[in-house]
């Protein structure tokens, strides 16, 4: 009753910020993302009848909020398998946790993959995605690889791969500007934005057009068009965050300096664009061949602590011969 799974974080190009319903953690809008194959979460799930409750260690630490989300996902898996045993869950990220690098997405994608594997379940991908979504709305996107589209359909969400990593081998450079966890979780931040930002309604109303434009750009492999819509959608989400009360200011001075640097590089003819999630790190998406130059340029920006390079990655999978 034990299995180990690996999943990669993803970064949204057309983003999810806000919920249609708290029950089922249904997003207000669809989203389009890239899976970052160079960063990984490895999670083991061990169902053990001797345990009185689920025990969850994330990078060696226990956190009640994470444990209750994990238990919600595991309860559904236990229900599918007709098993009541509690589980010991160990999860490790090889990148900074909870600082806007989508660790919850890779974490819950790895969790449900390992949990289903440990119970010997062969669930339909759609069911697994619904269980992962309870943990984190962006987690279903990490179950698949490459470029992934998540859309709302009735009372659920559906994910599909739009391009495999080999179809359009984009590279991502991550500029890390702060290593600690963020002050406000996405879940709490979204709830606050829905209630208080005067821009939230326009964010939702204009989102369908952004998603269509992003999807068309990926399908046509039109990098300039993707750069245009991804930067616009990112800044629009941050406009909602900034106008939330109390405000959600995820950027540091180094974040902003990186955004300027990426725009300068593009003006100089380098095919790169930026995006930033609910944290201070900047992700620079590059056409093949320029990631080395972009990484060097961002490493030289004052305040950048570390630069990571990543190709597109595969979806979550069980690790064979887990020990
Ligand atoms: C800014 O998936 O972390 O990264 O569903 O409440 O767990 P919950 O939120 P989460 O939010 C991701 C927000 C984002 C944008 C995105 O990834 O689309």
72-129 pLDDT, tens per residue?
A: 999 999 999 999 999 999 999 998 665 556 679 999 999 999 999 999 999 999 999 9
66 within ligand 1 shell (Cβ under 6 A): no
Q: Whose CA is nearest to atom 17 of ligand 1?
A: 12
141 within ligand 1 shell (Cβ under 6 A): no
157 within ligand 1 shell (Cβ under 6 A): no
- Per cent of the chain over pLDDT 90 is 91
Give distance in angstroms: CA of 28 to centre of ligand 1.
Answer: 11
138 within ligand 1 shell (Cβ under 6 A): yes
The pLDDT of residue 178: 85
- Find tokens 């969850």 and name the residue: 56
Give distance in angstroms: CA of 115 to centre of ligand 1.
Answer: 22
Read off the pTM: 0.96
97 within ligand 1 shell (Cβ under 6 A): no
- What's the mean pLDDT when you consider all of the chain? 95
**Overall average pLDDT of the 4-8 stretch:** 98
Task: Establish whether the linkage from the previous residue to 246 is cis, with ω within 30° of 0.
Answer: yes
Please state at what angle helix 64-81 crosses helix 125-135, rounded to 10 degrees: 160
DSSP letter at 117? H
Give distance in angstroms: CA of 51 to centre of ligand 1.
Answer: 31
User: Ligand 1, residues 69, 242, 278, 282: which to mutate, most atoms within 8 A of Cβ?
Assistant: 278
Query: For 189-217, what is each residue's pLDDT tens digit?
Result: 999 999 999 999 999 999 999 999 999 99
Residues 6+ apart with CB under 8 A from 231: 273, 274, 275
Write the Ramachandran bin of 222: left for phi over 0, alpha for psi from -120 to 50, otherwise beta: beta
Give distance in angstroms: CA of 75 to centre of ligand 1.
Answer: 22
* Rounded CA separation 234/211 (Å): 12
Q: Whose CA is nearest to atom 12 of ligand 1?
A: 138
Q: Whose CA is nearest to atom 6 of ligand 1?
A: 187
**Overall average pLDDT of the 147-151 stretch:** 98
69 within ligand 1 shell (Cβ under 6 A): no
Q: Looking at the DSSP assignment, which residues form a beta bridge with residue 92?
A: 42
**Overall average pLDDT of the 218-240 stretch:** 98
250 within ligand 1 shell (Cβ under 6 A): no
**CA nearest neighbour of 38 among 317, 310, 306:** 310
Query: Residue 84: exposed, middle, or buried by beta-carbon count in 10 A (0-12, 13-18, 19+)?
Result: exposed
16 within ligand 1 shell (Cβ under 6 A): yes
- Atom number in ligand 1 closest to CA 138: 2
* Rounded CA separation 171/157 (Å): 27
């Amino acid at each position: 009753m034990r299995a180990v799974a690996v999943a990669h974080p993803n970064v949204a190009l057309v983003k999810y910020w806000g919920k249609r319903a708290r029950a089922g953690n249904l997003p207000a809008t669809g989203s389009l993302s890239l899976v970052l194959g160079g960063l990984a979460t490895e999670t083991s799930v061990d169902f053990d009848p001797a345990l009185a409750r689920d025990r969850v260690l994330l990078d060696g630490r226990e956190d009640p909020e994470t444990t209750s989300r994990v238990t919600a996902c595991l309860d559904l898996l236990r229900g599918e398998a007709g098993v009541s045993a509690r589980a010991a869950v160990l999860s490790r990220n090889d990148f900074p946790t909870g600082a806007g690098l989508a660790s919850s997405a890779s974490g819950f994608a790895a969790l449900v993959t390992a949990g289903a594997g440990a119970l010997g379940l062969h669930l339909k991908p759609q069911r697994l995605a619904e269980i992962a979504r309870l943990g984190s709305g962006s987690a279903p996107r990490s179950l698949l690889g490459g470029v992934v589209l998540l859309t709302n359909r009735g009372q659920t969400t559906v994910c599909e791969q739009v391009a495999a990593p080999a179809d359009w081998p984009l590279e991502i450079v991550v500029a890390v500007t702060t290593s600690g966890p963020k002050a406000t979780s996405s879940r709490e931040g979204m709830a606050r934005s829905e209630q208080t930002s005067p821009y939230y309604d326009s964010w939702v109303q204009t989102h369908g057009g952004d998603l269509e434009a992003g999807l068309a750009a990926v399908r046509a492999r039109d990098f300039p068009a993707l750069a245009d819509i991804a930067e616009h959608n990112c800044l629009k989400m941050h406009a909602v965050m900034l106008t939330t009360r109390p405000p959600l200011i995820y950027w540091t001075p180094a974040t902003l300096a990186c955004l300027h640097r990426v725009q300068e590089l593009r003006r100089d003819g380098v095919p790169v664009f930026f995006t930033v999630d609910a944290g201070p790190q900047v992700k620079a998406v590059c056409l093949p061949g320029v990631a080395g130059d972009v990484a060097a340029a961002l490493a030289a920006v004052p305040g950048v602590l570390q630069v990571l390079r990543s190709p597109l990655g595969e979806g979550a999978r069980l690790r064979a011969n887990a020990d």
